[in-house]
Structure 1
Amino acid sequence: MNHLRPDSLMSGDDEQALQLNNATPCDTSDIENNTGLGDADRVLVAKNGYTPVFRREFGSLATFSFAVSIGGVFSSVATTFVYPLQAGGSAAVVWCWLISGIGCMAIALSVSELVSAYPTCGGLYYTVSQLAAKNHAPILSWLTGWLNILGQLAGVAASEWGAAGLLLAVLSISSDFTYLPSVEHAVATMAGMVVLSGIVNSLSTYWIAKLTSSYVIFHVLVLLSCSIALLTMATTANGNPRHTAKYVFTDIENQSGWPSAWSFMFGFLSVSWTMSDYDATAHIAEEIQNPDIKAPWAISMGMLFTFVAGWLYNIVLCFVMGDITGVDSILASPIQQPVAQIFYNVLGKRGSIVFTTCAFIILKFGNISAMQSTTRTIYALSRDRLLPCSNIWTTILPTTGIPMNAVWLTVVLATAINLIGLGSYPAIAGVFNVCAIALDLSYCIPILCKIYYGRFVRGPWHLGRYSMLINIYACLWTCFVVVIFMMPTNLPVTPETMNYAAVYLIAILMFLMVYWGTHGRKSFSGPPVDRCIS
């Protein structure tokens, strides 16, 4: 184990306490002699109380590319476009992205500020321990850590399910729609996708960083080329003229059964799913050079890119999606992929295959990054003894420097989550909704601790005089959108249209509280606080 306990938490025999917490004292010789460790690693030991185990291979480009890959706007829009389209047509697609994007940016900026002050792979779980009062920190860290890791696992499962759907859509288009994917095919393809992400994440940080660096360039080129192709071909191809600006920005077509004003808000779901997992970059902080500057910069700029590019791309899709009956025909697509159907209608068979395949590749890049973030979170929580069988998940493979057991635990759990889809798609959709809810709540807890306890010491990247205002707005927006996430998006509510997210969330919170009472408060004292043992 590489967990270092602070002397402020020690009582009695230090050696016995260290053994109990499976910790080792700090070796400060490298810090004092300025040898062996880089600046970021010396800070990690002296300030945060952890022994460095990862190689810092992520520079500016790789870190920014990692942050952009988490949003994966080109592919994320493809897998979530149905929600605003069904909720309010073109107007919901355009304006919900803009409104919700502002709220998501407030969360991203607030998270960036916290990450700059506390750049560890524990992310905001560790941050809570530094911001909350000593008697509140253990349970708040416990709750934040569990919500975050459960949200990340559900996010990996959801993204791999989406990747499987895009790949099967390519096969369906290639067969001229004679092949239509079943749920069984989706689950089997998803399992293969998860294993592929696990194999890539078994490589060393050096190779993962090299792979990640190329992603953002590919993503931008695909976005630009696809937008240009759609706008050019829509005037002539298959009788699909471009819509007018009035239609794109004002036309409302409510397909949900809810009153239009309420239905319109379901359009917020698309951007909230796309601009999520803000702290993913924080979880690779111990693999980033100068993480107190590069990690928050990448989070904020990566989310800004996703916000702006996603809004413009959605506008392009609305301009080219077909005549006045386009919404109905797109929603009735036999491949259940509205954006892939737009590609087919406008660009024809070959063009749709090319760009749907590109969407699949982009989503796979994002899934690989999401799995890397999740495995580092499992490692971070385990070195502080939060997860069961912690010794197993902190094992670092010497040849690659990767927590290999944590990688394949993620593979197994993500696959197991998606097996729910064999029994009921509404049930698995509820799990995907819980992903965003759990992650957003795990961000709000440290932001609220920053506001309430007043113990925050800002890092080199901060929001200055606007910090408190942005923090408050981020929390208010999260509370609002969590309600939307738990509502069924269609009426009448039936077992097929029910949103089970609320049921899952209540069950998760009850489990965490019971588990805290029976196990957590006895075995978990929280991350290191203030300084390491000398």
Structure 2
Amino acid sequence: MATSMLQPMEDEFPVDHDEKVLLSLGYKQEFKREFSLWTSFCVSFAVLGLLPSFASTLYYGMGNAGTAGMVWGWIIAMVFIQCIALSLAELCSSMPTSGGLYYASAVLAPPGWGPVASWVTGWSSWIGQVTGAPSVNYSVAAMILAARSITDSDYVPANYELFLLTTFLMIIQSCISSMPTKWVAVFNSLGSSFNMVAVIIVIVLIPAATKTDPKFTPTYQVWSNIDNGTDYPNGIAILMSFISVMWAMSGFDAPFHLSEECAIADVASPRAIVLTSAIGGIFGWILQVVVAYTVVDIGAVLNSDLGQPWATYLLQVLPMRTALATLALTIIAGFSMGQGCMVAASRVTYAYARDGCFPMSKYWRKVNKYTKTPVNAVWFNCAVGILLCLLIFAGEVAILAIFSVGAIACFIAFTIPISLRVFFVGNRFRRGPWHLGKFGKPIGAAAVAFVVPMVPILCLPSLIGSKLNSSNMNWTCLVYGAPMLFALLWFAIDARKWFKGPRVNAKHAMRGQFIKEQREA
């Protein structure tokens, strides 16, 4: 790679480097650049939210393929997810703009295909981003109510309580996300630091405090026990368990969308992407192993009356007070994660509205003159998220669909520009200062090869035949497919007449030449 991950950047580029790069992409500077490599990493790590992500998706990893699916599934999936992160980091260095994936698809698409490629990428990316905060806050609300159920055996949470608490969390996070960039950066730095500390505490605490006898399940059983909770062969069940990994790791692209607020963005932002994916992958797997070695009864965890598998697992292996303390750590980390999701999603909405992708875009693309942040975009996403939370009243299976939707939507958006870069661009691609060299295409091809078969697999219902009904079907196709179908029909009927993609500067095809000229000057 062209630059070391820890190499100083300030002396490497002129002070106005970022503004010149952004102008070369066709946009003027509107945000204050108050994010650094560290704060960009903090936002993306907060979006990743390893502990709350793991707690929120425990049902999928453990329920589909048991402990073997948890430990093997995370390793296999992370190899390919790291390929995706590396490929996105290379694109980010070449095109450091809030539009991110959407902008890259327009630049890399064959002649005449830029508008439709960016339109599909943009809508898929936005769906993934806008489902992030409601899915996280739904899980956090469920954990809060589960904690009350633990302390009050007579209490049974109602759906309306879950909805109202989720809505309240989203409103609080929207208020924070509407603050000036500097304040948002500080808040997310603190939240991300707490997330990292919480993960380490839980990884150490569970093995040390577990009350079961024996404390740990034998190794051969952990690594070979495929407790298949589906009607499919074991191999398919393991692949279906990847949803927990994909959803948990879908936030590493946040620095791409924050690049217009980051100093030396074409180096700092790609570094933040790779650091987030690598560190998140390692700690996430360790957490998987800890739980796999200590869980006693998978069936009891998945079918508990508490309605929250993570809370049930903690009670199963830890004394009550220790379990409640661990659950409290997860709840606080989950709130920080939801906050990071809200910030990243608002930047995506702003960038797409800037190019007229949404109805009433002129309102959502406004930057508040006091805070210098896209406040309107924040509250637009908040309103959409609250509407999505109405799925709570349709039942647990329906609301859980927003997890698989988030994974599929994000990874489809990741894959479109990567596949264009690998299979269609040829020599037109111009690298930024951070790149993969000759390994760019092979790594990108591996990323595409992973996502393509995973999309249909993650849409499969766990039960088939006569067991399948409306209460246990996989709602992912509907929740993701309906808005995407609307977007495609809108483009075919009307948007193709006026939407020409992002404002790509004609000189962007010479991005590498631009950097060369700047250095020679």
1:101 and 2:95 correspond: no
CA–CA distance in structure 1, aligned partners of residues 295 and 216 of structure 2: 8
Q: Tell me the equivalent position of 1:5.
A: none
Question: For the structure 1 residues 517 and 251, does the alpha-carbon distance in structure 2 shift closer, same or farther, using more than 3 Å as the test?
Answer: closer
Moved more, 266-275 or 126-135: 126-135
CA–CA distance in structure 1, aligned partners of residues 365 and 327 of structure 2: 38
Q: Tell me the equivalent position of 2:463.
A: 490
Q: Tell me the equivalent position of 1:193.
A: 169
CA–CA distance in structure 1, aligned partners of residues 299 and 399 of structure 2: 25
Secondary structure in 2 matching 1:172 = helix
Q: Tell me the equivalent position of 2:389.
A: 418
1:266 and 2:261 correspond: no
Q: Which amino acid aligns with 1:103?
A: F
**1:60: Cα distance to partner?**
2.1
Pick aligned residue for 1:52 from 9, 18, 29: 29
Q: Which amino acid aligns with 1:59?
A: S
Q: Tell me the equivalent position of 1:313.
A: 287
Structural mapping, 1:16-415, within 5 Å: 38-45=16-23, 47-175=24-152, 177-234=153-210, 237=211, 239=213, 241-322=215-296, 326-415=297-386
CA distances 1:478-507 after superposition (whole Å, capped 9, x unpaired): 012112210012342121110122234443
Secondary structure in 2 matching 1:81 = helix
Secondary structure in 2 matching 1:199 = helix
Q: Which amino acid aligns with 1:350?
A: R
CA–CA distance in structure 2, aligned partners of residues 262 and 119 of structure 1: 38
CA–CA distance in structure 1, aligned partners of residues 445 and 385 of structure 2: 33
**1:240: Cα distance to partner?**
5.7
CA–CA distance in structure 2, aligned partners of residues 503 and 345 of structure 1: 35
CA–CA distance in structure 2, aligned partners of residues 532 and 54 of structure 1: 23
CA–CA distance in structure 1, aligned partners of residues 75 and 507 of structure 2: 45
**1:380: Cα distance to partner?**
0.8
1:525 and 2:497 correspond: no
C-alpha contact 1:124 1:279 (8 A) present in aligned 2? no
Question: For the structure 1 residues 118 and 394, does the alpha-carbon distance in structure 2 shift closer, same or farther, using more than 3 Å as the test?
Answer: same
Q: Which amino acid aligns with 2:89?
A: S
C-alpha contact 2:229 2:462 (8 A) present in aligned 1? no
Secondary structure in 1 matching 2:227 = coil
Q: Which amino acid aligns with 1:319?
A: Y
**1:427: Cα distance to partner?**
2.8
1:453 and 2:425 correspond: yes
CA–CA distance in structure 1, aligned partners of residues 209 and 132 of structure 2: 35
**1:192: Cα distance to partner?**
0.6
Pick aligned residue for 1:481 from 429, 454, 466: 454
Q: Which amino acid aligns with 1:474?
A: A
Q: Which amino acid aligns with 2:252?
A: Y
**1:84: Cα distance to partner?**
2.1
C-alpha contact 1:130 1:530 (8 A) present in aligned 2? no
C-alpha contact 2:103 2:504 (8 A) present in aligned 1? no
Moved more, 112-121 or 513-522: 513-522
* Identical aligned residues as a percent: 28
CA–CA distance in structure 2, aligned partners of residues 456 and 178 of structure 1: 62
1:466 and 2:446 correspond: no
**1:217: Cα distance to partner?**
2.6
**1:531: Cα distance to partner?**
4.6
C-alpha contact 1:191 1:415 (8 A) present in aligned 2? yes
CA distances 1:124-160 after superposition (whole Å, capped 9, x unpaired): 1011122123411111111111111122112222122
**1:428: Cα distance to partner?**
2.8
CA–CA distance in structure 2, aligned partners of residues 292 and 203 of structure 1: 25
Gaps of 5+ in 2: 1-12, 509-521
Q: Which amino acid aligns with 1:467?
A: G
CA–CA distance in structure 1, aligned partners of residues 193 and 412 of structure 2: 32
CA–CA distance in structure 1, aligned partners of residues 448 and 135 of structure 2: 24
Secondary structure in 2 matching 1:462 = coil
Pick aligned residue for 1:508 from 483, 489, 497: 483
Q: Tell me the equivalent position of 1:436.
A: 407
CA–CA distance in structure 2, aligned partners of residues 342 and 424 of structure 1: 22
Q: Which amino acid aligns with 2:16?
A: G
Q: Which amino acid aligns with 2:268?
A: K
C-alpha contact 2:122 2:352 (8 A) present in aligned 1? yes
Q: Which amino acid aligns with 1:427?
A: A
CA distances 1:340-395 after superposition (whole Å, capped 9, x unpaired): 22222332221111111111111211111111111111111111122111111122
CA–CA distance in structure 2, aligned partners of residues 276 and 58 of structure 1: 21
C-alpha contact 1:111 1:278 (8 A) present in aligned 2? no
Moved more, 352-361 or 261-270: 261-270
Question: For the structure 1 residues 411 and 506, does the alpha-carbon distance in structure 2 shift closer, same or farther, using more than 3 Å as the test?
Answer: closer
Question: For the structure 1 residues 126 and 227, does the alpha-carbon distance in structure 2 shift closer, same or farther, using more than 3 Å as the test?
Answer: same
**1:238: Cα distance to partner?**
5.2
C-alpha contact 2:123 2:484 (8 A) present in aligned 1? no
CA–CA distance in structure 1, aligned partners of residues 199 and 361 of structure 2: 42
CA–CA distance in structure 2, aligned partners of residues 225 and 501 of structure 1: 34
CA–CA distance in structure 2, aligned partners of residues 440 and 74 of structure 1: 21
C-alpha contact 1:240 1:345 (8 A) present in aligned 2? no
Q: Tell me the equivalent position of 2:10.
A: none
CA–CA distance in structure 1, aligned partners of residues 408 and 394 of structure 2: 23
**1:117: Cα distance to partner?**
0.6
CA–CA distance in structure 1, aligned partners of residues 342 and 268 of structure 2: 20
**1:532: Cα distance to partner?**
8.3
Number of residue pairs matched by the alignment: 492
TM-score (norm 1): 0.88
Q: Which amino acid aligns with 2:19?
A: D
Question: For the structure 1 residues 424 and 330, does the alpha-carbon distance in structure 2 shift closer, same or farther, using more than 3 Å as the test?
Answer: closer
**1:280: Cα distance to partner?**
2.0
**1:189: Cα distance to partner?**
1.0
